[in-house]
Chains A and B, each alone.
Chain A
C-alpha cells in the first residue's frame, strides 16, 4: 500500500494559506537552506531523538521517532476531522515539509483524495523538482506557496545547497499554465535581504504575468534548539531576526512595485 513519510500534522494552522488549515509536513527536502526552521524535516530517514518530559521538576527522557509512515487513509482521517473549520473559514489542507514533491506519488494520491472531498489544497514548495513531477501534481493543487530565496544562482548554491535554475523554470511554467501562486520570500539578513537580491526578485516577478502576491517571511531563531537537539550544524546560530522597521520597509517597497504583500503569510 502506498505510504508517505510524514513528520507532523498540525491543526489550526493559520499561516499556511487562507483560512483555518491543517498542515501535513512531509519529511525529506532536496535543499539545505542555512536558515531552515524545520531542520528535522531535511532527511527522508526517520530519526530518533531523545525528548525530555518535565514533571514537578523531575525530568524523564524517552526516545521518539521523527517521521512515520502513513497511508493516504491515515492522513485523510486526520484531515477530515477539521472539515467544519475549512467550510467556515475558507481553509483546507496545506502540504508542507520538507518538500512534498520529493514524495510525489503520495502527494498526488492525497491531493486527489482532497479534491474528491472538495477540500481546498495548498502546496508549500521550494520548487526544486523535475518538471514532469510538478506537472503531474499541479492540477490537483488549488494554490501554490512558492518559495523564492535567492536570484543569483551561485549564491543559491551556497546558501540553499543547489542551483535555482530548475526552481525558476518551474515557477514560470506553473504561472504560464494559469496556476494560482503566492511567492514566499524568506527575509534573511545579509543573505536574502540584500538590495541586489530584492531588485532581482522584483525583476523576476515583473517578468512573469499574474505574479502579484508576495508573503515576506522574517527569519526567526525559533529553530536554534532543534539544531542542538538533532546535533546538526547551525550556520545561523548568531543571526538576528530582521527588525519590524525593516520588514515594514520591505513591505512598502514590494507594494510600491505593485505587489500585494503580507508579513508572515
Chain B
C-alpha cells in the first residue's frame, strides 16, 4: 500500500461521523422558492437536485485520486427531511448513543430548530405513510410483525449496469430527447406526465455534468497553488478527467472509476435509497479500460491498484444516513451495503473471471475496510483458483468476501421472467438480494416476523405481549387433536398478515412515486428513459417487490418441537407447554432442557425437523409470490434478516423450541444459534431442502475457526463445501472466521480490537460497534470444530 493510500485510509477510519445540515438547508431553501411552487413534481425534484449540486461545498481531500463527497467532508452525513424529519430529540440521541454515534453541533441544532423542522413538519413521506395505511397495518407494525423499509428511506436497492461505461450524460441526454420527440400526445393519455419526467431527467443529466465541472474548477485552483510538481500534474489530470466525464463516456480506467463515483454521489444525494447505490459487476465493467490501458502502456497494474484503493476509501467515507425515532432498534448498526460483485458469467454465459478480478481481490484484502462490501459470484464455469484466492481472504477473518451461486441466481432471475442475458448480467446486492443489474427495480418492503405470526396463532389471534387482538381467530390450539390442524391455523394467520403487508406496500410505494420521483436514478436504470417513466413508478424494465421472511430456523424448531413432544411422543400436552411458555420456563427448567437438548433441530440434516422448514417456506411463498405490485411487476420472497432477527426476537415471548422471551430469532436460513451440532455439511444439507430458486435470495451464515482454513487442504475443503452447497442450488454462504475466545476478549477490551470486523448477517461490521446482544449472538453461533 502506498504512503498516500495509507494516509487516506487512516483518515477515513479516523473520521468522525457527523450530521451535516448542508443538504437539509439547500433542499429547504429550494422548496421555499417560487420556482418550486410553479413546476411539476418531477421537475421540482430535478431542480432541487440541481440546486443542491450547484451550491454544496466541494470537498477535495489532500492526496485524493477520486473526488466527490456527499457531504462537505468525509463522514459528514446529510439528512433527507423530505422522507423523514429528525426531531431535536432524535439529533440528541444520534449525538449521544454509544454505538455508531453521529456528532451534532449547536449550529446544526439551531438550523433544524429554526429552518428545517418548521418547514417540513407535516410534509414528510413518513407522516403521509402513517396517515395513509389502515389500523390493521399499524397494529401489526407496532406489534413487531413486520418492518417497513420505505418509512425512512427511499426505494432503492439497485445496482448499476454497464451503461455508463458506454454512454456519457450527453449521450443519455440524446436518448432523453428522442424519447420526448417520440411522445404521442394524440394517443397517449400519459404523454404529459412522461414529458415532465423526461424534462426532469434532462435537468439532472446537466446537473451532474455541472457538478463534475465544479470539481474540475476546484482542482485547477488547487493545482495552481500546489508546489509539489507531481501532485500538481496529478490534479491537472484529474481536472481534465472531470471535464471529460460524466459528459462523455470514459476512455481510461481512471475516468471510468471517477465517472462511477460521480454517479454514486448523485444517487445518494438525490435521496437516501436503500443500500445507497451499488457498482455491481465491477471487474466486468472496468475490464475493457483496464486491458486497453495495460496494452497501450498508459496504465500499469500498480497504478490501477492505487486507483482502486483510492476508490475503495470513497465508499468508506459514506456511512448510511441515520434514522429517526425508535427504528434504531430495527437495525442496530448503520452501514450501507454497496456489495461489489466479482466473477460469475458474462452475458454469453462464459466464465467471467479475469485478471482484474484477482487484482480487485488483492485490493479487498489489503484495504480491510467496511465499505464497500464485496462478494464473489461462483459459477460452475469459474476456476477453483478463483474460489481459493477468495478463501484466503475469508480466512483472515474480516468477513469478506461472501460467496454466491451464479448459476442459481441466473435460474432465479430467468424463472422470474428476465431475459437470459439480463439475468447473466445480474448478481446480488445489499445482503443477498438477486437482481438484474441496471435494468431492475427490486424493492425490499420489509422484514416479516414468521415466528411472531406463529405466536399469535398459539394465542388465537392475540399478541400475548400486549394482550391486544391483532390477528384472526384460528382456534384454541389446546383443543387441536392433530399437528395438521395447528399448521392450517398458522397458514390462515400468515395469509392474513401477508395481505395486510401487501396492501400497505401498495399504498406506500405510490406515495414515493407521486411525491418523490427520482429522475437521476431513472437516467441510469433501463428502460426509464425509453418508457418516460420514473424508477419509482415502474420505469425499470423489471419491477419486483420483496418481502423478507425472518425466523425460518426458529420456527422450524418450534413446529418440530410441538410435533415431536406434543403429538408424536406425547411427552406433554399443549396446555402444559403453553403454561411453560407463559412462565418463560420459570419452574419448567427441566422441560426446557428437554426442548433444547432432546428435541430434533433444523440444521442437522434430519428430515424430521427439516420438513417443517419446507412447509413454512411453502406457506410463506404461496401467500406472497406472484401478487401484482403497483409498478407492473409482482411480489416475491427472500429470506434474510439484516439485524431484524434481534428486534423481532425482542418482541416475541418464550417459544416452544426452548428460546426464552426476547432472545434473538435465528437469522436468514441459518439454524438457531447452537442448534446445529453435526457440522457444516449437515447445515448445508438442511439449508438446501427449501427451494432457493423460488426466492430472490437466502442467507446462510457459517462460523469457522481459523484453524479449519490454515492449510491448503483446509482451503480445498472449503472450496468443496461451497461447490457442494451450490450443486444443491444453495444461493449464498458466508463465513465468520474467528474464535469465540477472540470475540470474548474483544467484548471485554474493545479498544484492542478496533479493526475487528465480523460478518453480522449478510454484511460485515466492526465488532466493537455492535450492541452487546448482537455481540453475544455472534459468539454463540455454532463454532464449527474439527479435531
Contact = CB atoms under 8 A, between A and B. Distances in A.
B720 A11 contact: no
A60 B720 contact: no
Nearest to B714: A14
Contact of A20 (B681, B728, B784): B681
Interface string B702-738: 0000001000011011001101100110000000000
Contacts of B784: 12
A58 B585 CA distance: 13
A82 B678 CA distance: 12
A2 to B, nearest CB: 25
Contacts of B685: 81-82
A231 to B, nearest CB: 22
A81 B593 contact: no
Given A55-B589, A58-B589, A84-B728, A11 B679 contact: yes
A13 B727 contact: no
B680 interface: yes
A89 interface: yes
Interface in A70-120: 81-82, 84-85, 87-91
A53 B682 CA distance: 22
Contacts of B787: 15, 222
B724 A85 contact: yes
Contacts of A89: 716-717, 720-721, 724
Contact of A88 (B590, B593, B708, B727): B727
A13 B713 CA distance: 12
A19 interface: yes
B717 A55 contact: no
B592 interface: yes
Chain B: number of interface residues, binned into ranges = 20 to 34
Contacts of B727: 84, 88
A56 B592 CA distance: 11
B728 A60 contact: no
Contact of B721 (A10, A20, A56, A90): A20
Interface string B668-696: 00000000001111100100000000000
Contacts of A90: 720
A53 to B, nearest CB: 5
B405 to A, nearest CB: 13
B480 to A, nearest CB: 28
B594 to A, nearest CB: 9
A11 B593 contact: no
B720 A12 contact: no
B236 to A, nearest CB: 54
Interface in A1-42: 10-15, 19-20
B433 interface: no
A85 B681 contact: yes
Interface in B768-787: 784, 786-787
B509 interface: no
Interface residues of A, number: 23
Nearest to A90: B720
B678 A20 contact: no
B138 interface: no
Contacts of A88: 720-721, 723-724, 727
Given A11-B681, A12-B681, A20-B717, A55 B786 contact: no
A83 B151 CA distance: 47
Given A55-B592, A85-B724, A14 B786 contact: yes
A228 to B, nearest CB: 18
Nearest to B726: A88
A89 B719 CA distance: 8
Contacts, number: 68
Contacts of B60: none
B664 to A, nearest CB: 16
B605 interface: yes
A87 B723 CA distance: 10
Given A14-B708, A60-B593, A19 B679 contact: no
Q: Which of B680, B681, B721, B728 has its CB near the most chain A CB atoms (within 10 A)?
A: B681
Contacts of B679: 10-12
A12 B605 CA distance: 13
B786 A13 contact: yes
Contacts of B596: 55
Nearest to A55: B593
Contacts of A14: 708, 713-714, 717, 786
Contacts of B589: 55-56, 58
Contacts of B303: none
Nearest to B683: A12
A20 B720 contact: yes
A108 B226 CA distance: 82
B597 interface: yes
A84 B729 CA distance: 12
A88 B685 CA distance: 14
Nearest to A91: B720
Interface in A142-162: none
Nearest to A220: B787
Given A20-B720, A53-B597, A89-B717, A11 B682 contact: yes
A88 B730 CA distance: 15
B722 to A, nearest CB: 9
Nearest to B713: A14
Given A11-B681, A11-B682, A60 B590 contact: yes
Contacts of B592: 55
B244 to A, nearest CB: 48
A89 B723 CA distance: 9
A12 B728 CA distance: 17
Contact of B786 (A12, A53, A82, A91): A12
A216 to B, nearest CB: 14
Nearest to A78: B605
B714 A82 contact: no
A24 to B, nearest CB: 14
A119 to B, nearest CB: 15
B716 to A, nearest CB: 7
A85 B786 contact: no
Nearest to B728: A84
Contacts of A81: 605, 682, 685
A90 B384 CA distance: 14
A48 B324 CA distance: 58
Given A12-B680, A14-B717, A84 B724 contact: yes
Nearest to A81: B605
Given A11-B678, A12-B681, A19 B593 contact: no
Contacts of B723: 88
A87 B786 CA distance: 21
Nearest to B597: A53
A85 B721 contact: yes
Interface in B511-562: none
A88 B713 CA distance: 14
B720 A85 contact: yes
Contacts of B597: 53, 55, 60
Interface string A216-240: 0000001000000000000000000
Interface string B721-763: 1011001100000000000000000000000000000000000
B519 to A, nearest CB: 48
Contacts of A58: 589, 593
A222 B605 CA distance: 28
A12 B784 CA distance: 10
A39 B53 CA distance: 73
A138 to B, nearest CB: 26
Given A12-B682, A81-B685, A89-B717, 8 more contacts: A11-B681, A12-B678, A14-B708, A19-B717, A55-B596, A55-B597, A81-B605, A87-B724
For the complex of A and B, the 9 pairs showing the least CB-CB separation, nearest first, are: A89-B720, A12-B679, A88-B720, A88-B724, A12-B681, A88-B723, A60-B593, A84-B724, A11-B679
25 contacts: A11-B605, A11-B678, A12-B680, A12-B721, A14-B713, A14-B714, A15-B786, A15-B787, A19-B720, A20-B681, A53-B597, A55-B592, A56-B589, A58-B589, A60-B597, A82-B681, A84-B724, A84-B727, A84-B728, A85-B721, A85-B724, A88-B721, A88-B724, A91-B720, A222-B787
